[in-house]
Structure 1
Amino acid sequence: MHWSRREFLAAMAAGTATACLPFAGRAEAPPGLLIRDVRVVDGTGAAARTADVLVRGDTVQRIGRISARSARGARIVEGGGRVLAPGFIDLHVHGNPLRQSYASHLAMGATTVVVGQDGSSPSAGEDEAGDVPAWLDAMARHAPDINVATTSGHGSLRRLAGIDDGTRDPSPAQLERLAALLDADLGAGSFGLSTGLEYVPGRYAATAELAALGRVVARHDAVAMSHLRSEDDDAVEDAIREHIDASRPARTHISHLKVVYGKGEARAERLLAELQRHRDAGVPLTADAYPYSASYTGIGIVFPEWALPPNDYARVLATRRDELRHALEQRMTRRNGPDALLFGTGPHAGKTLAQVAEATGEAYADVLLALGPRGGNAAHFVMDDALQARLMQDPFVAIASDGSPEGRHPRGHGTFAKWIEDFAMRDARVSIEEAVRKATGLPASILGLTDRGVLREGAKADLVLFDPARVRARADYVDPFQHAEGFDLVVVNGVPAFELGERVGVAGRLLRHRAEDARPST
């Protein structure tokens, strides 16, 4: 069939374009898809070129000048000079595709998400503790609306190994069990290890414990990702060195690269120069970042370690309340004050800490004391725009959302749109070719994916068709759930999955790290 945009809209209105309606079952790849007259931006950084692209099944069959006769039986889409790129690969995502739709990611051009972040593995059941092989088995039977990969969370593995959260020096037997669990995860298809060293229980793990796991990651040619032990201006370089030392000789990746409290491009340049020195010394080092000045995490991040689990918070309040109150005041002052914390969950969602304090007539420190370190998640406005913008432009820094379908931060619905809108179009800080590479080819290489992330003949047909000038990130901190605009057609495994603002097909797959690529144990 050969439908123009106007004809397709008319068919929708008449009820004849039934493929546009959301549905739960898996869609089969159409007989073919011919996308004509597009600017192919292939994900390698190479200059865009004008061509037609023919998809057969789940594969890009041909790129070039293609006649309608050669594409007999295929649906024809007129590109009209729009960009056709590989689907974006989001390296750092929260949530669980077993229980959630990622239509919000499809709407911003993403076709693959990577879960299992910050030290927490996904779970197959509500009460399970992050058993990755069980989750992979459940995921293989599921029909996700987006491609899904996972890493293995260090914190989840620690608990499965029977290591108490507060343990700082696991026994040799516990470390052996921890390494064996990770080895099994990687053999089953996990793409690597994630650590959350600013959170419980990762904050209690010493470098030696992490290094024992880094060797396992390296044997499988997987990647070691980390939410660093600290992202503070005066500690981030030391935290990066710790991550590198713990990951050797595995590929090393920094999650959501940022400098909390730092200011200006010059500070970013110093950090990027430090990362390059590590690369020059032979460290395979990459990072990812998102185009927002607020992070989003639990409010426990503002509490001192002695008030965090496994310590008894009720006892802390009873014995050290004044000390904790003072510590919270100091921490919040350094983090730009109570106006810079915007609650995303719980009874105060959508309000700043300052607004809650005013409404309740309490001091903001007392609001935090009442909530406790497990009192919810919030956006924390602790980053400098100029510094973060410079980090994002580095060629070794991929674009990743750190978002989820339900998190109250606009990055979960707007990251890739905002990246293109602000960096490639409004300010032209990167070319459209580089903007696409950092969202496709670069993250694919970080994961070790060889059949996605680059638009070439023989690759899987994960594609996004868009006019960069019309791309808009509509989500904001007031309404973080608005879908992005401007991504006209998103194809997942050869199947149109999102089109004209609607999810139209379910064709995602579980992606496993290929066991045959793993290096033998030594």
Structure 2
Amino acid sequence: MTHLLLRDIDIVDGAGAPHTRGDVGIRDGRIAEIAPPGTIESDASVIAVQPGSVLAPGFIDTHAHSDLYLLAHPDHFPKITQGVTTEVIGQLSYAPIDDAALAVVRKQIAGGNGNPGDFAFDRRTVAHYLARLDQGITPNAAYLVPQGMLRMLVVGGEQRVATTAEIDRMCALLAEGFEQGRGRDVQRAHLHARNVRRHRRTRRVVRDGRGTATGVRAGRALRLDTTKEETR
């Protein structure tokens, strides 16, 4: 039984083909039928006539900073109403983290993530953060293990090249984050690192964990000359 019928709307399939007009029948929360306008015979209890509307696959925001907003506002209404159904988060985030790093990070990324005084920042591991997301959020979320956070946990705020032992520790933390994200649906741990094409050591961890690495250009938060040895 078709529970919902969207009649005579523009349909974009997301595969690059030109849009078409048609009817869309939805059953049990899934698209069951797509047909030319007026051709679906439906016993739907609700018929939605949406002239001028467009139906498209959900958009993926590949660089989002909603790590805190998702915890405080799981419905994430601002993004859902824009058609975004999946976000890639963790560019700068709160896991893995310890108390000392959290005190710094809350101030550093307050401009993008906010810094509510009444929010309980009580999650310290990737597993804890993902468990909170799994309690229920409206969009999908793919979590990146942020390289900047690994560095802060191991090196702190010192502007210098990490030692071999420190890089080993960062790799261990990254592997731990991957393991904690294993077996989840979209909410799986990956790596976010600066100049990731040169990031040999951590890339090896990414490869072994069958994950994905992303990269951005170095910004002003960490000078490139202090991290270049870690990102080769």
Shorter-chain TM-score range = 0.5 to 0.7
Deviation at 1:102? 1.9
Deviation at 1:126? 0.7
Deviation at 1:173? 4.3
Does residue 213 of the first structure (1) align with residue 202 of the second (2)? yes
1:116 is aligned with what amino acid? G
2:72 is aligned with what amino acid? R
Whether the 8 Å CA contact 1:118–1:196 is kept in 2: the answer is: no
Aligned equivalent of 1:102, options 63, 76, 81: 76
Does residue 228 of the first structure (1) align with residue 186 of the second (2)? no
Normalized per residue, which structure has more strand? 2
Q: 1:103 to 1:218 in 2, by over 3 A?
A: same
Aligned equivalent of 1:113, options 56, 69, 87: 87
Q: 1:82 to 1:221 in 2, by over 3 A?
A: same
Aligned equivalent of 1:64, options 28, 32, 35: 35
Identity, % of aligned positions: 25
Q: TM-score, normalised by structure 2?
A: 0.67
Aligned equivalents of 2:96, 2:47: Cα separation in 1: 39
**What is aligned with 1:178?**
173
Classify the secondary structure of the residue corresponding to 1:151.
strand
2:204 is aligned with what amino acid? R
Instruction: Provide Cα deviations, 1:31-67, integer angstroms capped at 9, x if missing partner.
Output: 7221111121111111111221122223222211475
**What is aligned with 1:53?**
24
Classify the secondary structure of the residue corresponding to 1:98.
helix
Instruction: Provide Cα deviations, 1:102-124, integer angstroms capped at 9, x if missing partner.
Output: 21112322222222114654889
**What is aligned with 1:376?**
none
Q: TM-score, normalised by structure 1?
A: 0.32
Superposition pairs of residues 179-258 of structure 1, within 5 angstroms: 179-189=174-184, 190=188, 192-195=190-193, 210-230=199-219
Aligned equivalents of 2:77, 2:96: Cα separation in 1: 19
Superposition pairs of residues 322-471 of structure 1, within 5 angstroms: none
Aligned equivalent of 1:138, options 123, 132, 138: 132
Whether the 8 Å CA contact 2:130–2:181 is kept in 1: the answer is: no
Does residue 90 of the first structure (1) align with residue 61 of the second (2)? yes
Aligned equivalents of 2:91, 2:214: Cα separation in 1: 8
Instruction: Provide Cα deviations, 1:430-486, integer angstroms capped at 9, x if missing partner.
Output: xxxxxxxxxxxxxxxxxxxxxxxxxxxxxxxxxxxxxxxxxxxxxxxxxxxxxxxxx
Q: 1:57 to 1:140 in 2, by over 3 A?
A: same
> How many aligned positions are there?
195
Aligned equivalents of 1:221, 1:43: Cα separation in 2: 26
Aligned equivalents of 2:14, 2:28: Cα separation in 1: 21
1:229 is aligned with what amino acid? A
Q: 1:134 to 1:119 in 2, by over 3 A?
A: closer
Instruction: Provide Cα deviations, 1:125-145, integer angstroms capped at 9, x if missing partner.
Output: 51444x222111121123x23
Deviation at 1:89? 1.5
Instruction: Provide Cα deviations, 1:358-407, integer angstroms capped at 9, x if missing partner.
Output: xxxxxxxxxxxxxxxxxxxxxxxxxxxxxxxxxxxxxxxxxxxxxxxxxx
Classify the secondary structure of the residue corresponding to 2:192.
strand
Q: 1:76 to 1:221 in 2, by over 3 A?
A: farther
Q: Which protein shows a greater Rg?
A: 1
Q: 1:158 to 1:125 in 2, by over 3 A?
A: farther
Classify the secondary structure of the residue corresponding to 2:218.
coil
Aligned equivalents of 1:119, 1:141: Cα separation in 2: 18
**What is aligned with 2:148?**
155
Segments ≥4 residues shifted beyond 6 Å: none
Q: 1:133 to 1:47 in 2, by over 3 A?
A: same
Classify the secondary structure of the residue corresponding to 2:178.
helix
Q: 1:135 to 1:218 in 2, by over 3 A?
A: same
1:154 is aligned with what amino acid? Q
Deviation at 1:163? 4.1
Q: For structure 2, which runs of at least 5 residues remain unmatched after alignment?
A: 98-118
Aligned equivalents of 2:15, 2:61: Cα separation in 1: 17
1:86 is aligned with what amino acid? P
Whether the 8 Å CA contact 1:113–1:146 is kept in 2: the answer is: yes
1:136 is aligned with what amino acid? L
Whether the 8 Å CA contact 1:120–1:154 is kept in 2: the answer is: no
Classify the secondary structure of the residue corresponding to 1:105.
helix
Aligned equivalents of 1:102, 1:122: Cα separation in 2: 23
Deviation at 1:169? 2.3
